[in-house]
Amino acid sequence: NAGVTQTPKFQVLKTGQSMTLQCAQDMNHNSMYWYRQDPGMGLRLIYYSASEGTTDKGEVPNGYNVSRLNKREFSLRLESAAPSQTSVYFCASLDATYGYTFGSGTRLTVV
């Protein structure tokens, strides 16, 4: 099925560990985004990539890095996880006509 695929769906990390969240889209979209969702705060933009080879910071980039590996894939890396990064992470891609398509999310807990 066409869409945005995120892996893993669930993850528990210890403080200080690192991990990479993977995102892939098969809709040939140029723009891709990483958001985090926290209760009462809606979704906040972490990083985005307007096109292959470019990345830019969003509202809450501290503690994260991203890689736009190719047009399909946009990964989010936590180099040294902190409890404040416990959240649900969503990847999205953008089609100019149809709008944004979101993945099903990654629920991350940092203990």
Tell me which residues touch other proteins (CB under 8 A).
Answer: 33, 35, 40-45, 48, 50, 58, 90, 92, 94, 99-100, 102-105
Give one DSSP letter per residue of 8-40, joined into a string: -SEEEE-TT--EEEEEEE-S--SEEEEEEE-TT
For residue 15, the minimal CB distance to other proteins (Å) is: 25
For residue 105, the minimal CB distance to other proteins (Å) is: 5
What torsion, rounded to 10 degrees, do the Cα atoms 73, 91, 66, 94 define? 70
Nearer to other proteins, 78 or 103 (CB): 103
Q: Report strand pairing: 106-110 vs 10-13.
A: parallel
Nearer to other proteins, 14 or 62 (CB): 62
Nearer to other proteins, 85 or 106 (CB): 106
For residue 40, the minimal CB distance to other proteins (Å) is: 6
Instruction: Report whether 78 contacts 18 (CB < 8 A).
Output: yes
